[in-house]
């Protein structure tokens, strides 16, 4: 297989010039960066969020704002090092006014994420939020098992994929804990499922 870093660089370049995206103009006008992802390209665990926030778009790094700080504390709670996992989003550019990504945007950016999954070949995909959960379930042919994130969170779905067995673990988005402090314990409890592997 081609060098993983080279393949990821190719994705990064394509995203920089991704003029087909309705978010391209907004990104360039604001001098934002596409947020491709970061971490170990050999990681067994891949975390997939929804779309970058303002701080992420300003730096080009995923989960570096307030949600990222809480995600970091969740990593600590299960003895995971951030640099040993891979973190990305479905949509790689920031939607205006921090809105949810649209269906069209998810469809446009999805193929980049699909390629990242093939490059990294994770054994566990932890989805952060309902958009990434639904996208990943569809990608792996499990659309008939999609349920609301309020029911799916903390469960584990297993699938045989092109490169081997993959576990999909839906989690609430870390931002939930920022808006609702009572959810912190739920997120931390769900995260413990990662300790099993």
**Positions in the chain short of pLDDT 70:** 1-2, 197
- For the stretch 84-128, pLDDT in tens is 999 999 999 999 988 999 999 999 999 999 999 999 999 999 999
Tell the CATH topology of 4-196.
Answer: Uracil-DNA Glycosylase, subunit E (3.40.470)
Model pLDDT, residue 197: 63
What pLDDT is recorded for position 64?
95
Q: Per-residue b/e over 174-194, b at no fewer than 16 CB within 10 Å?
A: bbbbeeeeebbebbeebbebb
Q: How far, in Å, CA of 129 to CA of 175, rounded?
A: 9
Q: Which H or E run contains 157?
A: strand 157-161
Return the pLDDT at 181: 82
């Amino acid at each position: 297989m081609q060098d993983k870093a080279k393949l990821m660089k190719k994705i990064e370049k394509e995203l920089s010039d991704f003029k087909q995206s309705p978010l391209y103009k907004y990104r360039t006008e604001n001098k934002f960066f596409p947020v491709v992802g970061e971490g170990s390209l050999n990681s067994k665990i891949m975390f997939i969020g929804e779309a970058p926030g303002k701080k992420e778009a300003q730096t080009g790094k995923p989960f570096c704002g307030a949600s990222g700080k809480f995600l970091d504390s969740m990593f600590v709670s299960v003895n995971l090092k951030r640099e040993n996992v891979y973190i990305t989003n479905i949509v790689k550019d920031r939607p205006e006014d921090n809105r949810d990504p649209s269906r069209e945007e998810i469809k446009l950016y999805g193929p980049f994420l699909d390629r990242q999954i093939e490059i990294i070949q994770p054994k566990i995909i932890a989805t952060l939020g309902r958009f990434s959960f639904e996208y990943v379930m569809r990608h792996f042919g499990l659309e008939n098992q999609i349920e609301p994130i309020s029911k799916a969170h903390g469960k584990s779905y297993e699938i045989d994929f092109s490169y081997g067995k993959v576990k999909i673990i839906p989690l609430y988005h870390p931002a939930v804990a920022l808006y609702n402090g009572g959810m912190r314990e739920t997120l931390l409890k769900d995260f413990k499922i990662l300790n099993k592997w």
